[in-house]
Structure 1
Amino acid sequence: MDVDKIDPYDDSRVTHEKANVNGQTYHYILGLPGNNNATIKGTIFLIHGWPDLSIGWRYQIPILLEMGFRVVAPDMMGYGGTDAPQVPPAPLSLYGMKRAADDIAELARQLNAPKIVLGGHDWGGAVVWRAAMWHPELITHVFSVCTPFAPVHKQYISTEDMVKGPLPQFGYQLHLASPEVEGKITTKEEIRQFLNGMYGGKGASGELMFDPTKGIIFENLLKVGKSKLLTERELEYYVDQYHRNGLHGTVNWYRTREINWEEDQQLKSSNIDIPTLYVQAEYDHVLLPSMGRGMGKYLSNLTVRSVPATHWALTQKPQAVNIIIKEWIECVVLGGKSKL
């Protein structure tokens, strides 16, 4: 069964907008339910991860509009039509989670949204958990696809120590944080192959371009074929957007671990008491479902559901994801329950 989705270039249900947010230009997708005269039940912000864009939520936006919500999906710092400041001279903190949370809050203010529901995937999932902690006055509900909640740690744990210890599948983060990836993937053809590989494309003999423990396998970059998760039109859109500023801004997110930890120390608690939803992907090889165990210790109104999908659950299993999100919104966001 086909699932409705937003066209990246031209779709009457959404517009592509720009806003100056805390000194940086953001591009965002804006969708209004029905028509301009429809009663808006609320505003939902959708936050993407790496290597994605706001259009990564293309299968979820239509159903949220049908449910009566205004939808705002920004390209995050360094991505697509949003600014991608070069570091240095710009401070690396521009790519930190507190800055992302503050930018969400400012964009909500500009859109006259005193309360919002916040959804995230991948890095976007990490952002929405922290945004709920930084801006509890703004965010009424949070949902995250694939990304489990991580509490504030009093002691700094480097990416290197995580890889040597409990999370060897985070080895790719060390590679992305190095200068190599952004330096070697620069042309449109290289970006095209990179995106095909990241979204599951394989070579004729099954070659993979991405290994969670190692990162990008450059020798397979030109071998991988077309991803099944992106149409040719969608792939062209992604390539154009990523070629705009290259990969520098996007991989800066992997260089902010210590900055994020330092800023976390200002938070008084790891507890989130608003209703939350965690949708785990059963076959995610990086954000393992087991990483979500114990989340209920910090999230008092947590609902957990799962989908038979890899990390790209939003586009691989959109119907299953949408059913979960819709039920949670109907019962919790609109129905007033604390959890399912």
Structure 2
Amino acid sequence: MAIQPIDPVSDSRIEHKTAALNGYTYHYLYAEPKSGQYTQTVFLIHGWPDLSMGWRYQIPLLVNMGFRVLAPDMMGYGGTDAPKVPPNSISLYGLKRASDDIAALAKEVGASSIILGGHDWGGFVVWRAAQWYPDLVSHVISVCTPYTAPHKEYFSTEDLVKGQLPQFAYQLHLASGEVEKSVKDEQSISQFLRGMYGARGPNGELAFDPEKGVLAENLPKVGESRLLNGKVLDYYVKEYSKHGIHSTLNWYRQRRTNWEEDQALLDKKVIKQPVLFIQATYDSVLKPEMSKSMESFLPKMTRGEVAATHWALTQKPEEVNRIIRQWLEGQGLGSSRSSL
């Protein structure tokens, strides 16, 4: 039977909670089996431009398997704080800070060990959190996002674009401050989100190009998205309207800070925890070839693949869930006896 995704407006299977983590308030989704008994705790970390609700198909699966699940809105998103930069440090939007806040949330809910899943930026976060907190993170799941080891040398986004990753040029546009000029109210946020989630104009116009970024001139043309529509789209628009788009783009403005903090991990390049990596075949940014050499750093990695674009979690949820379920069961985790 197909899993019913979490309803963003009203769903008895989840609670909306907040927690003060290292001085800032986070909003997170909380779910546990009806019995109140759970085997392990799973944290799910979203990327851009997404929210905790991006895991709406996976949360029910995991609860049904006997897990307790927490999915936070990350810094700058939705119900979580969006500190301004400046005066605050851009490192608030970095991988080390996200890892620290995940550890603080685990402590808040009394979890001494967590299974950590991530997608997009959330995938980058979970790799680093597993390195910063190896005693806390027992298992790692990354959907779409390949592992990148810490580097001693600094490579700017411009360096990457000129080299092997021309499809990362959109990150230069997202960091530039230009996107905020055209995505600034509920209507344009709605057009932007629909476009990012695959909607096109009447003549096939795209709202996003990996080598250019957000195509502002096409936003008014986009129609409906099959992946983000109805009450879910309304929820996303409302949540993104709380802070605007600017704070979410800070994640693209701290590459140097991430590199600086990575220097403490140069002797921790190998991730020893069991890892599940799910590749999306048609991801136009995080392309399959980017994950080719990961085995040398991830000795306990299992690979899975779905024929999907970057939005695999919601485009092919049953396939993604099947891979996650099989892997967790293969690790001896969870229980199928729980019910929603």
TM over 0.5: yes
Write out aligned runs for 1:1-340 (5 A): 2-36=2-36, 39-267=37-265, 268-334=267-333
User: CA-atom RMSD, angstroms?
Assistant: 1.0
Structure 2 unaligned residues grouped into runs of 5+ = 335-340
Q: Distance in 1 between matches of 2:126 and 2:295?
A: 17
Shift of 1:333: 4.7
2: CA distance between counterparts of 1:313 and 1:173?
21
1:211-235 CA distance string (max 9 Å, x none): 0000011110100111100231000
1:139-180 per-position Cα deviation (integer Å, ceiling 9, x unaligned) = 000000000000111100000010111000001000000011
Displacement of 1:33 in angstroms is: 1.0
Alpha-carbon deviation of 1:183? Answer: 2.9
Could you say what secondary structure the match of 1:144 adopts? Answer: strand
Aligned length: 333
User: Displacement of 1:269 after TM fit?
Assistant: 1.8
Any conservation in 1 of the 2:3–2:61 contact (CA below 8 Å)? no
1:264–1:333 Cα change, 3 Å: farther
Q: Deviations over 1:292-312 (max 9, x none)?
A: 011110011000110000000
Cα offset for 1:29?
0.1
Cα distance in structure 2, aligned partners of 1:212 and 1:65 = 35
Amino acid at match of 2:142: S
Task: Give the secondary-structure state (helix, strand or coil) at the position aligned to 2:190.
Answer: helix
Q: Which has the higher contact order (CA 8 A, sep 6+)?
A: 2
> Deviation of residue 35 (structure 1)?
2.9
Please give the alpha-carbon distance, in whole angstroms, between the structure 2 residues aligned to 1:334 and 1:270.
26
In 2, the alpha carbon distance for the partners of 1:299 and 1:253 equals: 25
Which amino acid in the other structure matches residue 145 of structure 1? V
Q: Check conservation: 2:194, 2:229, Cα contact below 8 A.
A: no
Query: Which stretch has the larger CA shift, 207-216 or 266-275?
Result: 266-275
Contact 1:202–1:224 (Cα < 8 Å) also in 2: yes
Shift of 1:2: 4.3
Task: State the secondary structure of the residue aligned to 2:131.
Answer: helix
Specify the SS of the correspondent of 2:25.
Answer: strand
CA contact (8 A) 1:182 1:251 kept: no
Distance, in Å, in 2 between the alignment partners of 1:207 and 1:72 is 37
- Contact 2:42–2:115 at 8 Å: present in 1 too? yes
Question: Does the 8 Å CA contact 2:174/2:213 hold for their aligned counterparts?
Answer: yes
Instruction: Find runs of 4+ consecutive structure 1 residues off by over 3 angstroms.
Output: none
TM-score by length of 1: 0.97
SS at match of 1:206: coil
Q: Tell me the amino acid that sits aligned with residue 27 of structure 1.
A: H
